[in-house]
Each structure stands twice: as C-alpha cells, then as structure tokens.
C-alpha cells in the first residue's frame, strides 16, 4: 500500500532538487519516497518549462564552468606577471 504525500511535501522536495541540487536518489532516501514517485512529480511540474532535473543539471554545469574560467583567469594573470619581470 502506498502512502499519500501532501502537496506541501512534494513541493518542498522538488524545490530542494531544483534550488539546492539535491539528487533524486538522495531525496528518495532522505524522505523515504520512491525515486519513481519523485520523477513522476518532476515530470508533472515540467509542462512546457525546463524540468527540475534539467535546471539542476544546468546549475551544476554553470558552477563547473565558472570554476574553470576562474582557474584559467588566475593562470593568465600569473603568466602576465611572469612576462613582466
């Protein structure tokens, strides 16, 4: 028998996945809800908008790219200092 999950809890889980980058498997474990149920909720919320998973993936990718750019910028600055000597 499946348990009924309130809309408030569903919303909270989806928001944490979207905004905090919580993975579906971790949310499933933390809240004691099946992964499939969470994926269904996410799919139902999408309706013409990017899915929660897509947004989460893009946020992670954006963070990685910012870190790469930061590292390259530091290397470039160091190179400029070395050439100036």
Residues 6+ apart with CB under 8 A from 71: none
- Considering the domain boundaries, does residue 43 fall inside one? yes
Q: Which domain holds residue 73?
A: 7-84
- Considering the domain boundaries, does residue 34 fall inside one? yes
- Considering the domain boundaries, does residue 1 fall inside one? no
- Considering the domain boundaries, does residue 2 fall inside one? no
pTM score: 0.53
Give the pLDDT confidence score for residue 1 in this predicted structure: 47
Identify which of 29, 50, 28 has the alpha carbon closest to the alpha carbon of residue 39.
28
Per-residue pLDDT of the chain (85 residues; tens, 9 = 90+): 467 888 888 889 988 988 888 899 999 999 999 999 998 888 877 666 667 777 788 889 999 999 999 999 999 999 888 887 7
- Considering the domain boundaries, does residue 42 fall inside one? yes
Give the pLDDT confidence score for residue 32 in this predicted structure: 93
Give the pLDDT confidence score for residue 57 in this predicted structure: 84
b/e burial code for range 30-44 (CB count within 10 A of at least 16 → b): ebebeeebbeebbee
- Considering the domain boundaries, does residue 76 fall inside one? yes
Helix (H) or strand (E) holding 68: helix 52-84
Give me the CATH number covering residue 68. Answer: 1.10.10
- Considering the domain boundaries, does residue 74 fall inside one? yes
Domain count, the chain: 1
């Amino acid at each position: 028998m499946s348990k009924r999950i309130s809309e408030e809890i569903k919303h909270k889980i989806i928001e944490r996945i979207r905004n905090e980058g919580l993975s579906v498997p971790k949310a499933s474990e933390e809240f004691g809800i099946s992964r499939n149920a969470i994926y269904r909720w996410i799919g139902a919320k999408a309706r013409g908008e990017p899915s929660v998973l897509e947004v989460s993936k893009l946020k992670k990718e954006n963070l990685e790219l910012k870190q790469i750019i930061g590292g390259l910028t530091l290397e470039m600055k160091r190179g400029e200092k070395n050439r100036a000597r």
